[in-house]
Amino acid sequence: MSDIYRGADASVKDEFATEIKKATRALINEMLEKTNLTAGDIFVIGCSSSEILGSNIGKGSSYEAARIVFGEIYPILKEKGIFLAAQCCEHLNRALVIERECAEKYGYEPVSVVPQPKAGGSFATLTYENMNAPVVVEHIKAHAGFDIGGTLIGMHLKDVAVPIRLSISKIGEANVICAYTRPKYIGGPRAMYN
């Protein structure tokens, strides 16, 4: 296990912070290389900063760990015109922080709540604080995503979700599961697919 500080106000030592940055950057870049995401698509991220630091989900939230992950992913997605959706924790029913532009494009109805580290999670809170015009919505249908630390993003992915194995499977101590989506195959044995 990496040498880190633990607890509700956990800080991340420089060496471990570098490890988190490298893993996060490698994951998002590899994911974008291996999928057909385009401008206007939605990328959902559920991120347990507690799990990144080796604590149980919801038991050692770290704004600093969340900031590192956000800082590596958000600029890359923004540059490509891909919308980030940050999943809140169970205390906000796994609602999502997205840009108002995304909500308007897809017709998602905003709700009235502002995520906090203990009610929404550090990653969602940080995302809310750093987006241009953030809103919170209850449901989306994302095109791809990362589940960092067992946050259960599947409820926010379009049909059909396809797991993808990348060269890195952890950010810090948190397992990462990656998925993209594809259109449903219909029509049976005589159908042709592109």
Is 189 part of any domain?
no
Is 5 part of any domain?
no
Is 7 part of any domain?
no
Per-residue tokens: 45 = 């991220």
Report how far residue 41's alpha carbon sits from residue 5's, in angstroms, rounded to the nearest whole number. 36
Residues 75 and 130 sit within 8 Å (Cβ to Cβ): no
185 burial type by CB count under 10 A (0-12 exposed, 13-18 middle, 19+ buried): exposed
Q: What is the model's pLDDT at position 11?
A: 58
Q: Answer yes or no: pTM beyond 0.85.
A: yes
Q: Which of 174, 179, 177, 169 is nearest to 26 (CA)?
A: 169
2 pLDDT higher than 70: no
β-bridge mates for residue 146, sequence order: 45, 178
Is 109 part of any domain?
yes
CATH number for the domain spanning 84: value is 3.40.50.10360
Question: Can you give the residue range of the structural domain that contains 132?
Answer: 14-183
pLDDT digits (tens, 9 = 90+) for 66-117: 999 999 999 999 999 999 999 999 888 999 999 999 999 999 999 999 999 8
Residue 59 DSSP symbol: S
Residues 147 and 169 sit within 8 Å (Cβ to Cβ): no
Split into its structural domains, the chain has a count of 1
Apex CA 175: angle with CA 169 and CA 181, to 5°? Answer: 70
Is 44 part of any domain?
yes
Q: What is the model's pLDDT at position 5?
A: 31
Give the amino acid at 26: A
4 pLDDT higher than 50: no
pLDDT digits (tens, 9 = 90+) for 38-52: 999 999 999 998 898
Is 129 part of any domain?
yes
Is 188 part of any domain?
no
pLDDT digits (tens, 9 = 90+) for 9-65: 445 678 888 999 999 999 999 999 999 999 999 999 999 988 988 766 766 687 899
Is 191 part of any domain?
no
